[in-house]
Amino acid sequence: MRYTPAGLPALNLRLEHESQVAEAGGLRTVKVVVKAAAFGTLAERLAKQAIGSVWKFNGFLANARQGKSVVFHIQDFLQD
């Protein structure tokens, strides 16, 4: 947990996803890791969750400050 210059709680984290999808008549395992960020009371709630627990996240994608990667901005989350 960190705090912005304005004193707003902020949490930088990474989300990991793994699933299987049908492709070309077979199953393909898909894995992805995405940088994510949460702010305010949402960041405080998220910081209390166990690492590795399973959640569904809502939010939006935006370029990182340097513009070379993508960051998922978390707006809400629910236990899966």
pLDDT per position as a tens digit, 23-72: 999 999 999 999 999 999 999 999 999 998 999 999 999 999 888 899 99
Reported pTM? 0.84
At 15, is the pLDDT very low, low, confident or very high (cuts 50, 70, 90)?
Answer: very high
Contact 38, 48 (CB under 8 A): no
Task: Say what the pLDDT of residue 9 is.
Answer: 98
CATH number of the domain that 42 lies in?
2.40.50.140
Domain of residue 75, residue span: 2-79
Count how many domains the chain has.
1
Task: Say what the pLDDT of residue 65 is.
Answer: 85
Nearest to 72 by CA among 63, 80, 55: 63
CA angle 75, 14, 73 (to 5 degrees): 25
